[in-house]
Structure 1
Amino acid sequence: MIALSFDIEEFDLPAEHGKQISFDEQIRISTDGLLKILDLLKKWQIKATFFSTIAFAQSSSGIIERIVSEGHELASHGCSHSEFSVEDLKVSKDILEKMSGTSIYGFRMPRMMPIDEKELFLAGYIYNSSLNPTLIPGRYNNLNRPRNIHKEEGVWQVPASVAYPFRIPLFWISLHQFPLFAYKLLCNSALNKDGYLNIYFHPWEYYNHLEREELGVPGFICKNSGDKLVQRLDSIIDYYLNKDVSFITISELLQKKVDLT
């Protein structure tokens, strides 16, 4: 089983690198990539989970409607990608539920930062997918954290998948950097060990012009971005469907792996 997920947010990465673009441009770039992703998922008739900020959802309500109407799972990514308060947990859940007409079960913290599990439980979330159990220099060191689904403070933890036995991350940057055959081998090591994959990406990665100087995006992220990344993800989906591996939402993954009662 593979749980594909996408963090849909205002494209604020340029600000991390000293560049400023308008909010409208942030939404436009993310929307451009998101439409490609939805078209690809529709082509293969597979479902995914979309963690949305309220800033993005309220600026692109039509896309949120499409996500839900095509059977994907909608989950919370907070109110804003660049600011956070504990109150955002309940507020974002309530707004997304009202907008979509569906229940919101999951949360992912922007930039996979730590979050108080007790507060998530109080806000009514069933699961948290904010843990990347690996080492990312300059970002976090979670080599001592569990790599598998587990429960903390009443909330199910669904960590991003990492390779086995060495915890090489399989997240979005890896698909940009590794040769496709190597990325598939690493994914297979986790799939064989854990029985599932949980891998995530961002729609803005699929925008064709990330190398624009005014965006300030580092070259290692621009590598294999845009339509090249669409082709890479298409290859991953094709490869695993031909191996009879199913693609499911994170909520569906939890239902299959643990007792939710």
Structure 2
Amino acid sequence: MILLSFDIEEFDMPLEYGKEINFQDQIDISISGTNHILDILDKHRVKATFFSTVVFAQNAPDIIKRIIKSGHELASHGYFHSAFEPEHLASSRNELQEISSQKITGFRMPRMKPVDENEVKKAGYLYNSSINPTWLPGRYNNLNRPRTKFKEAGIWQIPASVSPILRFPLFWLSFHNLPIKIYQWVAERTHKKDGYLNIYFHPWEFTELGDQERFGFPGYVSRNSGRKMIERMDQFIGALKLKNYSFSTISEFIQNS
């Protein structure tokens, strides 16, 4: 089972690199990228999970409608992308349910930061997908965490997929920087070992990110973005479809676990 997910949010990442980006540009870039993603998913007739911040959902109502109409899952990515309080767990879920008229059962912490699992359960979620079970300097130190799905505090934990050996992360940066055939090879072997693959991306990856003056990103972030990212995602999903891999939302995957 292939679990594709996309974190749709206000595109505030340039701020981490000392660049200013106004709020409307943050929203517009994420709207454009999400439409590219939905076009690819529609083409291949596969379903995915979209983790949305409330701020993005409030400012992109047509995108939320399209996600729901296309049969994808909407889940919570918190209220804001760069600010978090424990009460946002419940308030983001409630607000997204109000906006979408859908039951929200999943949560992912922005930037995959740690979150209190008891608070996640208290807020009414059935699963949390906020763990990248690898080691990445300055970002993740989760080698002591289970590599595949498990339960904690009474809710499902669905970690991002990493390879069985060395815990090589199969997240968005790997997708951009590895030759696509090598990425697919590692992904398929991880799927064979685990029985599923949980990989995540962002809509702003589908924008050309090489403008140093505007975004300030290093090459490993901007590489294969924009049109190349659209082509790579189309190629990747198409290749897996040809090999008869199944795709699912995370909530459907949990229901069948």
Give the secondary structure class of the aligned counterpart of 2:251. Answer: helix
Percent identity over paired residues: 54
Question: Is 1:200 aligned to residue 197 of structure 2?
Answer: no
Question: Counterpart in 2 of 1:109?
Answer: 109
Question: Counterpart in 1 of 2:226?
Answer: 226
Q: Which runs of 5+ in 1 are unaligned?
A: none
Alpha-carbon distance in structure 1 between the residues aligned to 2:217 and 2:57: 24
Alpha-carbon distance in structure 2 between the residues aligned to 1:99 and 1:144: 37
Give the secondary structure class of the aligned counterpart of 2:214. Answer: helix
Query: Displacement, 1:208?
Result: 2.4
1:117-159 deviation per Cα after TM superposition (whole angstroms, max 9, x unaligned): 0000100000000000011111121111101111101111000
Question: Counterpart in 1 of 2:168?
Answer: 168
Query: Displacement, 1:221?
Result: 1.0
Give the secondary structure class of the aligned counterpart of 1:199. Answer: strand
TM-score, with length taken from structure 1 = 0.97
Q: Note the 1:17-166 alignment, pairs <5 A.
A: 17-166=17-166
TM-score, with length taken from structure 2 = 0.98
Alpha-carbon distance in structure 2 between the residues aligned to 1:202 and 1:75: 14
Question: Counterpart in 2 of 1:252?
Answer: 252
The alignment yields a C-alpha RMSD, in angstroms, of: 0.9
Give the residue type in structure 2 aligned to 1:236.
F
Count of matched residue pairs: 257
Preserved CA contact (<8 Å) 1:211 1:219 = no
Alpha-carbon distance in structure 1 between the residues aligned to 2:3 and 2:193: 15
Alpha-carbon distance in structure 2 between the residues aligned to 1:12 and 1:101: 27
Alpha-carbon distance in structure 2 between the residues aligned to 1:78 and 1:113: 12
Alpha-carbon distance in structure 2 between the residues aligned to 1:165 and 1:44: 31
1:30-81 deviation per Cα after TM superposition (whole angstroms, max 9, x unaligned): 1111110000101111110000001100000111011001100000000000
After TM superposition, what 4+ stretches of structure 1 lie above 4 angstroms from structure 2?
none
Preserved CA contact (<8 Å) 2:77 2:109 = yes
Alpha-carbon distance in structure 2 between the residues aligned to 1:250 and 1:181: 25
Question: Counterpart in 1 of 2:185?
Answer: 185
Query: Displacement, 1:256?
Result: 2.1
Q: Which runs of 5+ in 2 are unaligned?
A: none
Give the residue type in structure 2 aligned to 1:105.
T
Give the secondary structure class of the aligned counterpart of 2:46. Answer: coil
